[in-house]
Chains A and B, each alone.
Chain A
Amino acid sequence: MGDLGRQLRALLTPNFAWLALPAGLALVAVGVLAIDTVRPRQAHTQQSLNLPIALLCMLLAMMPHPRVMGRVAYPFFGISLGLLIFLLLPFVPRGIVPVINGARSWIDTPGMNFQPSEMTKVFFALSLAWYFRFRKSHRSLLGLVFPFLLTLVPVTLIMMQPDLGTALVFAPALFAVLVAAGAKLRHLFAIGGLGTLVVVANIAIILWAPANMQLLKDHQQRRVRSMIKLASGDTSDIQADAYQQYKAMTLCGAGGVWGFGEERSREVFENFHLPEAHNDMIFAVIVNRWGMLGGIGVIGLYGALVTGFLGVSATTRDPLGRLTCVGFAAMILTQVVVNVGMTLGILPITGITLPFISYGGSSLLFTFIMLGLVLNFASRPRGMMERESFEF
């Protein structure tokens, strides 16, 4: 208890958690209001069930010592992977693993559908940080192989569900952790360049190569094509592949600088159906209701949140905390960029939630657990270090 008191006292002194915590709470408040615009019942559930559970878990996540967290990181990461495998087992009945939107991503538990991939994200970041905390092997190209393999396992399992959106956040998190952990930038830039080349080549193949040379699945190709069409002003696909994105962009654009306000926005969404408006497309609701100012405000809050995470990382002396915070920041930022990017028409449509804002128990729960862990690290800034970490 004395430890907790010390932690709370530490949190009361000015630190970067002062940026992250209010930003997170403000985002969740915006989220509840935005969900209430389109799905009042879901907003009620989010507010009265999901949010209290998530806040409680955040407080619990603030308690354990980082050393304990580090020690349980690998076992819990293993459990997460086990659950991901469980989702894919063909004999598991649909009553336990329902197929929602064509994906086997959830376990049906009383009260909510639990999404193991959200849990995996948290323990992946912790495991990665625990792995790198005193190493310097990643300074060589060969030393990067293991972390990449470690990333490939959850990414492959999640892709098999399939859930491309969640799978997308792992690579940027690894990349950011490697940058912070002192991996050589030339190695990372080379790998990043290679990755960019693959993306560009894929787009070129989608646009110009014949059907038998395509690498992505048919629906993925269509989404990329429709996104490019829409970005170039061609609305010929708006009743087909570009339907959701066109609607989201129209709703954002129509919001203008000040937004429609609560009443009008509610009426608009009642009559202009946007699929997944309370979930993946929630940013369109925000911009429509609060306009450009609301949209930029939310992006700014994410900027503050991520900056807060990076700030905690900069101030804590615990190597586990340092890298964990960077990993979480990268994951959240990736989710925000992909989600907002697809809503604004600069990235193709994929299923990914907007952290703290989108409706969903698992997503909110584990995002708050991330915040709780960051606060945990922030509350122990003067932890004794055996030696300087990540200084090469």
Chain B
Amino acid sequence: MRGILRDIIPGMFHRRLLLLAGGVVLLVGALAAKTIHLTTGAVHGASLGALEERLRVTTQIPTRRGSIFDRKGRLLAEDRPGWDVHVHFSVFSGDWAFDQAAAAARHAYGRAIWKGMTLAEKQVAAEPFEAKYLLQVRGMWTTLAEIAELPPEVVERREHAVVERVGKLTANASAYARRRRMERLNKDREDVSFTETYTPAAEELQTHAVLYDLTPEQLGRVYVFADRAKLEQDDWEQALAQARQAGDPPPPDTRAYGIWMSVQPRRVNKRSYPWETHTVVLDRSTLPGLLRRDRPVEMEVEGVARHVVGWMGRIQRADALWTSRPYRRQASLTDSQIAAGVQPPPAEIDLGGYQADDLIGRRGVELSMESILRGTRGRTVRERHTGQETTEPPTPGRDVTLTLDVQLQARIQALMSHDPQVGLMISRDWHSAPAKPKGTQPGDLLNGAAVVMDIDNGEVIAAVSVPGLALADLRDQSRGTFSNHRDAPYRFRPLEGIYDPGSTNKPLIAAGAITDGILAPDEKLDLTQGKLWKNSDRFRDWIWRSANGFANFGHMNAAQAITVSSNVFFGQLAQRWGVSNFGYGRVPWWLSQFGMGRRAGCGLPESAGVLIRPDKLEALPHTQPESTAAYLTIGEAGLSVTPLQVAAAHAALARGGLYIPPTLVSDASRPGPPRETWRLNLSPAARDRALRGMDRSANFKGVDGRDRGTTYLIRPQGNDERVFNCPGVHVYAKSGTAQAEPQRAVHQGGGLDGRPISKTHPHPETQATVGDTLREGNHAWVVALVRPEDAATPTHVVVVVVEYGGSGGAVAGPIVNQIIHALRTEGYLGEIPPPAPEAAARGGSARGDG
């Protein structure tokens, strides 16, 4: 071969050239082959797809979040379009002024000289020009403050807040970059300077809001400045171009409104809560003792139904929706697909998905009904290279109607406020709080909850948590609010607070016992011993004590035992169950049938409470099944409930055994299957005796404590007064005074200032440290079934619990009484009364908060 080649091409030089030519052919062929590979087949398709994807400009069209209404169609939350004013971050940072000064200096010195300058020289050269632009910036801030009718300090504060926030973000990004670099270079022990690792945050390139909710007039004034700036800029550019064409030096910069090019008005959707603040007028003529006044009082309630309606917040990476439903989902390839050169498909877009800066419901119905309220954003897709546009319109969120009556809610919130003009949630002399070192003292502010429910359908028409929560608290003192574990204003007590129910259980237990046949409807039990067990004083009647000369209740039937709230009677019922075929487990079984220990699915996050399982109770060692069952009957062990559960249970009793799960969201707005009801098959006699007992508890004066109803009277300043004094309304009630575990200081965020409690940093108010008792005593309960005098059966149930309040009837009773008055005022009990003094002001008295 070699010989043949030598014969054909005798010269070595030409043979070598042929070799080189061969190399040329190989290389050129390789390039051509790769070009063919890229531009044909699947690779071409994937590239074309990727290019088209990148040439598409998608503009999102915001959707409208659904509104929230109360049961009477009053608007509680809505999306309202508004205008904010944004300013580019370069103005905040001072970069805008410097860049303008540098451009002016460049024009003044000429391009050639400017190019020859070092960075430091350029900085020095730009400095004299900077003052003019800084003045423009200052003038803009002042003008913006004037337009928004705000003090300049407010705008300045916002300006500093933006700089601080973005500065932190940038610092974080740079610190991350620095760490990464250090990790890489660690082995060489090479330090990395800040300049080398400076990583700008995206916020440095964006605009930031400084004015919110501008009126059309204010907006118009901003646009006047922005338009002037635009005109001025056009003229300036034209002058520059003419000078360039003529070969003249650039004209001096005479722009006076240039800074306004960095100002952008932006249309945004605001969540508005028209009932955030509401004024109610309370009649004080029915209040107990010294609280009673002839003149009504006008009160402004903040955060009406805030716990129920909830609020919005920006989505965080920790939120489940961030990962479960992202706006953009990029398909991930397996290793084998990557190895096979498979191109990743374009990201899938979910228009209803979440992305950074999206607002989501943070609490209440805003959170629980997020999927219904949210809606789906629309989009306009413009092909940048063809200009073709396609639009998918947004789908607005669906409205949600609550079962609440917000007017009644506001009224009850006012009644249960800590305002001394009403004073029902302030400890009083007649409250009979036990004398304990950390027990409630007269004058102390009380916390608690109230629930009002329609017995017919289980709809909650008011649910109040004390202390309440207003948007202003969330905005201005969010940290203090959420770290105040002592009063826990963030907790929605009607659904999330769990308490031992105490004697409010007794009507339910009596009904169960009579239905099971272990107690005849009018059978009297011997209570003369005053206690359940001969050898122990632990389980006794409240009247059996030395102060009363160890008095006892004698012989009583179920209705009488409920009236006076005998413990021993119900302890004996537990014993009867124990020796019957049912066993002790029947007690928790009955309570479970009444809805305790389970979530009702009321439409908001709720606690299931605690209820010992029947089989667990039966399996307890020694005599514990008997004692636990006995304590269960009086609500002191093995059971913790929410106020909502107590209300639902007594509503079921009033219905004769039909359990309807309570709800705060109207059935029409609830997603999923309808509420599941069940029958307890209570005997008519059982319901009758339980209600008779509650009736006597509220209405039977008797002779003394041995036969008087526990919710019959209170003694403010030593004078006897009826607890319930609403004319035209019949009340069946049961009190509960539940011994409660002391509230102890916790480690995490125990202080009011948000710092953890410790030995060196005690609670700023109470000086408590970790584990110290903050409060102790009894939770005060009253549950009341009410009906208009002319109705045959109760129509509403009212439950009130006051934490560490003292005696149930004395503390919670007057509050329930005022709620009954409020119900009547709002027209729920009988005919609608004549217009109250505040009715005229009602329409315009609500002040919203967006």
Contact = CB atoms under 8 A, between A and B. Distances in A.
Contact of A307 (B24, B44, B112, B344): B24
A254 B51 contact: yes
Nearest to A323: B13
B115 A94 contact: yes
Given A232-B341, A268-B55, A256 B16 contact: no
Contact of B27 (A253, A287, A333, A345): A333
Contacts of B384: 267, 270-271
Contact of A233 (B40, B51, B343): B343
Contacts of B16: 179-180, 182, 390
Interface in A64-97: 93-96
Contacts of B115: 94-95, 98, 108
A323 to B, nearest CB: 9
Given A233-B343, A235-B343, A344 B31 contact: yes
Contacts of A340: 31, 35
B116 interface: yes
B387 to A, nearest CB: 9
B35 A257 contact: no
Instruction: Choose among B20, B36, B50, B333 the residue with the greatest number of A CB atoms under 10 Å from its CB.
Output: B20
A219 B20 CA distance: 33
A272 B187 contact: no
A250 B13 contact: no
Instruction: Choose among B184, B339, B385 the residue with the greatest number of A CB atoms under 10 Å from its CB.
Output: B385
B338 interface: yes
A292 B43 CA distance: 13
B11 interface: yes
Interface string B363-403: 00000000000000000000011100000000000000000
Interface string B24-49: 11011011101110111001101110
Contacts of A268: 51, 55, 385
Contact of B20 (A179, A264, A291, A392): A179
A364 interface: no
Contacts of A3: none
Contacts of A390: 12-13, 16
B342 A344 contact: no
Given A95-B112, A267-B385, A310-B21, A212 B13 contact: no
A276 interface: no
Interface stretch (A32-40, A51-59, A296-304): A296-304
B45 to A, nearest CB: 9
Interface string A254-280: 111100000010011011100000000
B48 A254 contact: yes
B340 to A, nearest CB: 7
Interface residues on A, range: 35 or more
Nearest to B27: A337
Nearest to A259: B39
A8 interface: no
Nearest to B57: A271
A256 B48 contact: yes
A344 B35 CA distance: 7
B547 interface: no
Given A253-B44, A254-B48, A268-B385, A233 B13 contact: no
A292 to B, nearest CB: 4
B536 interface: no
A235 B31 CA distance: 22
Nearest to B45: A253
B388 to A, nearest CB: 12
A252 interface: yes
B696 to A, nearest CB: 77
Interface of B is mostly: helix
B176 to A, nearest CB: 15
A296 B32 contact: yes
Contacts of A46: none
B205 interface: no
Nearest to A334: B27
B36 to A, nearest CB: 6
A149 interface: no
A306 interface: yes
Contact of B25 (A235, A303, A313, A336): A303
B34 A233 contact: no
Nearest to A286: B35
B185 interface: yes
A210 B187 contact: yes
Contacts of B342: 233
A174 to B, nearest CB: 13
A233 B341 contact: yes
Contacts of A303: 24-25, 28
Nearest to A304: B28
A390 B14 CA distance: 9
A292 B32 CA distance: 9
Contacts of B47: 249-254
A176 B385 contact: no
A302 B333 CA distance: 39
A278 to B, nearest CB: 19
B546 interface: no
A104 to B, nearest CB: 14
B51 A180 contact: no
A302 B28 contact: yes
A275 to B, nearest CB: 15
Interface string B162-204: 0000000000000000000000110110000000000000000
A160 B187 CA distance: 27
Contacts of B13: 180, 182, 314, 322, 389-391
Contacts of B184: 211
A261 B237 CA distance: 33
B24 A333 contact: yes
Nearest to A389: B13
Interface in B35-88: 35-36, 38-40, 43-44, 46-48, 50-51, 54-55
Nearest to B54: A272
Contacts of A94: 115-118
A205 interface: no
A29 interface: no
B246 interface: no
Contacts of B290: none
Nearest to A258: B39
Given A179-B16, A344-B38, A391-B12, A232 B338 contact: yes
- By Cβ-Cβ distance, the 4 closest A-B pairs, closest first, are A253-B47, A95-B116, A292-B39, A267-B385
Given A232-B338, A329-B20, 15 more contacts: A94-B116, A180-B16, A182-B12, A212-B188, A233-B340, A249-B47, A257-B40, A268-B385, A271-B55, A271-B385, A299-B35, A303-B24, A310-B17, A337-B31, A346-B30
Interface of B: 11-14, 16-17, 19-21, 24-25, 27-28, 30-32, 34-36, 38-40, 43-44, 46-48, 50-51, 54-55, 112-113, 115-118, 184-185, 187-188, 333, 337-344, 384-386
18 contacts: A95-B115, A180-B13, A212-B188, A232-B339, A234-B338, A249-B47, A252-B35, A253-B46, A253-B48, A254-B44, A264-B385, A268-B51, A295-B32, A330-B20, A336-B31, A341-B34, A344-B31, A390-B12
